[in-house]
A and B are shown apart, each in its own frame.
Chain A
Amino acid sequence: MPISTQGSDWGEIMVTESKPSNPIASTEGVVSEVHGAPFDGEVPTKSGMTTDDLMEELRPRIREIKNSWSLIRGNWTAMMGLMLISFVVGVALLAPILSPVAPFADPLRLPMDFGTPVPPFTPGHPLGTGEDGADLWHGLVWGARITITTSLYVVLTAALIGLVLGAVSGYYGGKVDEVIMRLTDIFLSLPALILAMAVAAVLPRTMENMMFALVLVWWPAYARLIRGQVLSVRENTYVEAARAIGAKKGRILFKHIVPNSISPLVVSITMDLGAVALTAAALSFIGFGVESGYAEWGRMASDGQKWMFALVEYEGIKYTAWWVATIPSLAIFIFTMGFTLIGDGLRDILDPRLRRS
């Protein structure tokens, strides 16, 4: 092999050693045989990676990330969203400090004093209390954890299922495609909330079952999205080039097609993180989520609605207890808004017309 500067002369040997009787079959084993040979002297380390190598591998990727970051920084909607979300995530992380829990108590249960609701800025209850004297501040802080984990779990699981099924469907086509797409049709033919309600209704009322119901209604949209992307990406010449060098189907799909198909999925995931939180809250609100007294924003808003127009008396003043429903609703609003803004910004950034070509 004249290209190589070292002694790995496999090309020449391949030509001379291949039996002329059947060149197609005989060229196979020969190459790998020859390839054991040049390594008599120095044996490279098994992993073969030094820190320098690693840096060299990472540098172009870091450069790309830096470039993307500078684009995000220039996009004010994305930055706004990012700030809102960082705030919510910060609250969730600091929950044990912001609202300490008594030892052995379940932090996700709202502490109650079984009184009537008290307004915000009451000593001991910075955001007031709700039904049965449940502390809203505690619910808000710990509810952030629930909302974030639920959204992440639901969206990432659904996206993974959708990615695999959609990619397989788009790439293999034919019967496989037909089956998977009709399946998504069944799911998409029912409104998401109704289907999630139906699923949640037949299962015990736990957080896990609600998440399961949401995953079930969420994946078909991702499968559709990825399938469409794969259908267009597979027409690129580099996919054909991968075939020309002898790549197997799985490799072509997951190394060449999928990495080039996922940018819309990223946008979709970001936006859906907010949307899932909203739907989860809606499920809780209409009574298909967790039980009352749980630090879940939708549940808290639901519990608060009956106090909206009820009069409560506190220190001699009569109030309509608007805060019981409004405060958790505002939290849901901020969370959803944050991800929607990030998603919007990302969509602008990932738009190939805006990116350097």
Chain B
Amino acid sequence: MMSDEILIDVRGLQKHFPIRGGLMGSTGTIKAVDGVNIYIRKGETLGLVGESGCGKTTTGRCILHLTKPTGGNIYWKMPADIRSKLIELEAELAKLPEGNGRRKSPEQKRIEGEIDEIRKRYSLEKQPSESLRMMRKNMQIVFQDPYSSLSPRMLIKDIVSEPLLIHGIMKGEELKEYVRSLIETVGLNPEHLYRYPHEFSGGQRQRIGVARALALNPELVVLDEPTSALDVSVQAQILNMLNDLQSRFGLTYLFISHDLSSVRYMCDRVAVMYLGKIVELAPKTELFERPLHPYTEALLSVIPIPDPKAQKNKLTLSGEIPSPANPPSGCRFHTRCKYREERCEREEPPLMDIGGEHLVACHRASAK
């Protein structure tokens, strides 16, 4: 199912929330997402894990433009050659000496112009809001909480058919037939269409949420912790259904979760986030067998093993996650890292490819 075509490419994504209050109004920013680079190939599932408050949900919502990113670009279906050209141009621009003051050198202007040209075509940031609204056909989301994600005063039929009505894709008898088949696709009964959300269980509601997301036949679906509000037995059902739907319709998933077991079950590649940044990104087996970042290592060590006799060496992280309003200097993880060195406090490690699509942001790992 997976192809080499990159469906969506997130480059330098930033979301800073202003902190309101105090006498002078804004007193700083919460850096919820601070320079995230990820791309998702068509047909693959990318996992995004991290503890609460690390910015993983914000990343997902920024990708869909449910909250407006404060920086960075999200490119949709950019052909590979143009992508490599863009990366080249960006690197060139970074290499150029800073222009003195506000004056820009002609070279700088030329490169910026070319980058702008590409962005105008492929970056979601540069699209007018109306075409962004039309774009929502291609990207959908399944929310975490199935209880508040369905309007209590709408029939299931209306909830599922609303996207199609909004985009003027179908109506009348055709729509009815389509909605009926859609609700069967997610494992519910067409009789259920004429009921209100409060008549369903959590798992059933999540299925309705999935049906709504699939109604427009999107290419990318962001799954924002789709199972964390459900019972364990129901979780497995939903995950299986999602897997099934993916292979049937060739969907691409961004699977946001803090549950590593389900990430392991669902994903092709996994990105680990800490304090608004990606610290490690690798294919699933690689990441689970050879974690290189100490944070990933700690996360993996606490996955429960269903065997009471198994002896495990749990690495517990000491301390709290630092405030994203005032992240630590250098490597953001150094305050809790057991391998901390002096330079970790000074220098921020870049996210480097150490071979085999394994990216990690740690001085120790890249030195190896």
Among residues of B, the one whose C-beta sits closest to the C-beta of A355 is: B198
What interface size band does chain A fall in? 35 or more
Known contacts A4-B178, A245-B162, A48 near B173 by CB under 8 Å: yes
- A256 CA to B166 CA, complexed, in Å: 13
Chain B residues within 8 Å of A3, by CB: 178, 181-182, 185, 214, 217, 249
Interface residues of B in 104-144 (CB under 8 A from A): 121-122, 124, 127, 131, 133-138, 140-141, 143-144
Instruction: Work out how many contacts link A and B, with CB atoms closer than 8 A.
Output: 131
B288 interface residue (CB < 8 Å to A): no
Among residues of B, the one whose C-beta sits closest to the C-beta of A29 is: B134
Main secondary structure of the interface of A (DSSP, over half): helix
Residue from B144, B149, B167 in contact with A246 in the complex, judged by beta carbons closer than 8 Å: B167
Chain B residues within 8 Å of A4, by CB: 177-178, 181
Residue from A10, A14, A28 in contact with B131 in the complex, judged by beta carbons closer than 8 Å: A28
* Complex contact A60–B198 (CB within 8 A): no
* Complex contact A22–B198 (CB within 8 A): no
Chain A residues within 8 Å of B101, by CB: none
Chain A residues within 8 Å of B168, by CB: 32
Known contacts A3-B181, A27-B134, A244-B64, A10 near B217 by CB under 8 Å: yes
B337 interface residue (CB < 8 Å to A): no
What interface size band does chain B fall in? 35 or more
Interface residues of A in 1-21 (CB under 8 A from B): 1-6, 8, 10-11, 14-15, 20-21
> Most chain-B Cβ atoms within 10 A of its Cβ — which of A20, A23, A256?
A23
Chain B residues within 8 Å of A71, by CB: none
B328 interface residue (CB < 8 Å to A): no
* Complex contact A259–B153 (CB within 8 A): yes
- A247 CA to B168 CA, complexed, in Å: 11
- A21 CA to B76 CA, complexed, in Å: 11
Chain B residues within 8 Å of A251, by CB: 166
- A17 CA to B42 CA, complexed, in Å: 17
- A23 CA to B137 CA, complexed, in Å: 12
Among residues of A, the one whose C-beta sits closest to the C-beta of B157 is: A57
- A14 CA to B169 CA, complexed, in Å: 12
Residue from B79, B127, B181 in contact with A24 in the complex, judged by beta carbons closer than 8 Å: B127
Known contacts A24-B122, A24-B124, A248 near B134 by CB under 8 Å: no
Known contacts A236-B148, A256-B151, A241 near B198 by CB under 8 Å: no
A residues sitting closer than 8 Å to B (CB atoms) are: 1-6, 8, 10-11, 14-15, 20-25, 27-28, 31-32, 35, 38-39, 44, 48, 56-57, 59-60, 64, 236-238, 240-248, 251, 256, 259-260, 356-357
B residues sitting closer than 8 Å to A (CB atoms) are: 64, 66, 76-77, 79, 121-122, 124, 127, 131, 133-138, 140-141, 143-145, 148-155, 162-163, 166-174, 177-178, 181-182, 185, 194-196, 198, 209, 212, 214-217, 219, 248-249
Q: Closest 8 CB pairs between A and B?
A: A48-B172, A246-B136, A245-B163, A11-B217, A237-B149, A23-B77, A44-B173, A238-B151
